[in-house]
């Protein structure tokens, strides 16, 4: 199956024709035989080459979805992401809650106890944010605010993932402080958190920025063509 044309991945079933402005390729997608203008690899132009189209318009044309159906699908996809994240934060929180009742907890230093409390609070906060989409949706049920629910739930999940990352760092630092030297524990914990942050936030953000710039450049070329 060919990669979507808007993902910027070259495919073998797309036909590139000449013409147009320098650096602009005319790409025909055989899936729906709609001609679009794109930049270096692809952009979300409408069917008439007039620049990026809205999400609702694109989903209506490609997926045959109405705006309401698109919101339902987005919320269902978000819940799948929440279930994946909740499994991690629940496991972390369960381990932290049980730690206080182990014999080894009594020999922890004051700094380690403080670190434990910080990690425990962060885990609880993360769990609360990842659970928040469910009560938020239930409180606004049948109020015709699905778009607001989807937007708010997405923000809840992003905040919950950030809190979970901090909780993981605190838990890892606590365990390493018992096993190795304090400076090494801080260094390893910081490196691990940076590794997670890179894949959770940095890489997707870079991809998003690149796509936004690519669409902006295509829009600018389209405007010059009109002028």
For 20-40, the pLDDT digits (tens) are 444 444 444 433 333 343 333
pTM recorded for the entire structure: 0.68
20 vs 35: CA distance, rounded Å: 12
Instruction: Average pLDDT across each block of 10 residues of the chain; the chain has 227 residues. List them in order.
Output: 40 43 43 37 45 68 79 87 89 89 87 92 94 90 87 93 94 90 89 93 91 80 72
Residues in the chain: 227
Tell me how far CA of residue 145 lies from CA of 72, 150, 159, 185, in angstroms. 12, 9, 21, 47
Annotated domain spans of the chain: 5-62, 67-186
CA angle 28, 33, 35 (to 5 degrees): 45
């Amino acid at each position: 199956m060919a990669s979507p044309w808007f993902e910027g991945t070259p495919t073998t079933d797309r036909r590139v024709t000449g013409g147009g402005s320098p650096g602009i390729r005319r790409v025909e997608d055989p899936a729906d035989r709609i001609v679009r203008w794109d930049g270096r690899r692809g952009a979300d132009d409408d069917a008439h080459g007039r620049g990026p189209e809205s999400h609702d318009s694109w989903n209506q044309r490609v997926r045959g979805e109405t705006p309401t159906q698109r919101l339902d699908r987005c919320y269902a996809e978000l819940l799948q992401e929440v279930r994946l994240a909740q499994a991690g934060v629940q496991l972390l929180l369960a381990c932290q809650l049980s730690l206080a009742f182990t014999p080894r907890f009594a020999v922890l230093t004051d700094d380690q106890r403080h670190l434990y409390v910080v990690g425990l609070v962060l885990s609880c906060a993360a769990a609360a944010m990842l659970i928040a989409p469910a009560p938020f949706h239930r409180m606004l049920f049948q109020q015709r605010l699905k778009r607001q629910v989807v937007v708010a739930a997405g923000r809840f999940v992003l905040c919950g993932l950030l809190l979970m990352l901090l909780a993981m760092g605190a838990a890892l630092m606590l365990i390493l402080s018992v096993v190795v030297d304090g400076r090494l524990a801080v260094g390893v914990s910081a490196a691990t958190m940076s590794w997670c942050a890179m894949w959770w936030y940095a890489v997707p953000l870079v991809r998003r920025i690149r796509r936004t710039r690519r669409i902006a450049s295509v829009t600018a070329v389209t405007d010059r063509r009109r002028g």
